[in-house]
Structures are given as structure tokens and as C-alpha cells.
Amino acid sequence: MRILITTNYEEMSIEAAKIVAGQIYLKPASVLGLATGSTPLKMYENLIAVHKTIGLDFSQVTTFNLDEYIGLSADNPQSYHYFMYENFFKQINIRRENIFIPDGTAEDIFAESKNYDALIESKGGIDLQILGIGQNAHIGFNEPDIKFEATTHKVKLDDETISANSRFFKNVDEVPKFAISMGIKNIMLARRVVLLANGKNKAAAVYKALCGSVTPEAPASILQLHQDATFILDKEAAADLPQDLK
């Protein structure tokens, strides 16, 4: 486990973009696992800038997003499909057919989940998985639970997650109550994982992930067992960590 503590969100985002860009330079046909939310936004901005200025080439890259709300169609501005196209995909030269995001409008979410797992496998697995972390230490939408869910599955979102994500909606009642998310095994099978966290509201979750017991009650704690995981944190998100980890 590597921990990189940066001075602020901007620096965290640059370090993350450097890792993604390096991955694509070394392996142009990389398979990336991607996250939505506020945290990776500036990393995406940086990657777009590297694409536009020095031609970072996404033409052979394949992406798999972690999750999507159930019931939101791709053209709904609150959907993760919409987020990814607006904030990243439209501005780089990735091929549409290489973009995969779980379909939250699928009639049979179980079949959609199986299909998503099979697609990941058919592309040779994920080379580099980017993660954010919830205030309750969720990764993807793997919420605290008494057991880990291995593969892509339907999730009932926690009240804490619904309230945290309500900032993107008109009001809390509009936030979908269910999502489809990759599971912990999907994430653990990624050859490399990079988790990003910034802000003091993530400090407790980061502490649980890095210093707590490995437990499904703090899903990010499983990353302690990953063979190649890096946490890139700003100072505030790292604030609760003991001195020897800083």
C-alpha cells in the first residue's frame, strides 16, 4: 500500500492524472476502471488537457465505470452516463464502443450485472481502477454491510450516501434509492488501484480504510489486502492518519 499526501486538491488531481497518463503511455490499449463524483473531476480535466496539448491518445483505451443509479437514463443530467460524457468522454478521442457503464434502466438488473462482469472479463480485466471514497467508506456503491458483495450487483443506497449525493439533485427526494455497482471482487481483481480523497469530510473514512480492521462495514478497508493500491490524499483527508503513515 502506498500513500501519497499532497498539499491540496489540485496537486492530488495532477498526481492522479500522471498515473493514468503513464498507464496509457505504457499500454495504449489499457482497460481503465473509472469513478464519478466530485473527487475525480479535476483529474479528468487534467487528462483532457494532456490529450489536447500533447495528444495523449485514448483511441485504444477501454473504460468501465463503477456504478450507475437505477432508473436514470443516459440522457438524465444526474446520471453517471451523462456525467462521464460531459466531464470526460466528449472531450477526448475515446471510441464510443470502448465505453462501458452499467445500464441503470435495464429491466433485469441481475442479467445486466452478469453481463457487465462478463464484459470486464472479456476485455482482459481492469489494468487501473480509479476510486473515490464515500464518507461511510464505500467504494463504488459498495455500502457498509455485514458481507462483501463480490461482483456487479444491485445496491440499496445508505441514507448517508443519499444525503451526501443530494447536492447534485434539486432535493433529497429526487436521489434514486438504488444503484448498480461493481462488486469488491471486480475492484480487487484490478491490477492496480488508485483511491483519491480530499477534504476533511473524508478524513474519518480514510482512517478506517487504512488503519481499521478489514471489514465489510468499511468497504474501502479491503484495499489493505490489494497487491498494488495507492491512496492519493490531500492534507485534510489525511488529517486523522497516525504520524508513521504520513
Q: How far apart are CA 51 and CA 91, in angstroms?
A: 9
CB 131 within 8 A of CB 65: no
- 17 or 139, CB closer to ligand F6R? 139
Does residue number 104 form part of the binding site for ligand F6R (CB under 6 A)? no
Confirm or reject binding of residue 132 to ligand F6R (CB under 6 A): yes
Tell which positions 21-40 bind ligand F6R, by CB under 6 A: 35-39
CA 63 to chain centre: 11
**Residues 50 to 89: which contact ligand F6R by CB under 6 A?**
66-67
CA pair distance 80, 36, nearest whole angstrom: 7
By CB under 6 A, residue 151 contacts ligand F6R: no
Nearest to 38 by CA among 237, 171, 188: 237
Count of residues binding ligand F6R (CB under 6 A)?
Answer: 13
Q: Judged by CB, which is closer to ligand F6R: 60, or 215?
A: 215
Catalytic entry in 136, 142, 165, 198: 136
Region at 140 (left for phi over 0; alpha for psi -120 to 50; beta for the rest): left
Instruction: Mark whether 107 is an active-site residue.
Output: no
For residue 138, state whether it binds ligand F6R (rule: CB under 6 A): yes
Of the pair 12, 35, the CB lying nearest ligand F6R is at: 35
Q: Is 136 a catalytic residue?
A: yes
Q: Which residue in 15, 67, 112, 117 is the catalytic one?
A: 67
Whichever of 36 and 152 has its CB closer to ligand F6R, that residue is 36
Give the closest residue to 30 by CA, choosing from 123, 132, 131, 93. 123
Work out how close the CB of 143 gets to ligand F6R at its nearest, in angstroms, rounded to a whole number: 10
Looking only at the bridges linking them, the beta strands covering 229-234 and 192-197 are parallel
Residue 138 falls in the annotated catalytic set: yes
143 is catalytic: yes
Q: Does 42 contact ligand F6R by CB under 6 A?
A: no
| CB of residue 36 to ligand F6R, shortest distance in Å | 4
Question: Closer CB to ligand F6R, residue 58 or residue 219?
Answer: 219
The residues annotated with a catalytic role in the active site are: 67, 136, 138, 143
Residues that bind ligand F6R (CB under 6 A): 35-39, 66-67, 132-134, 138-140
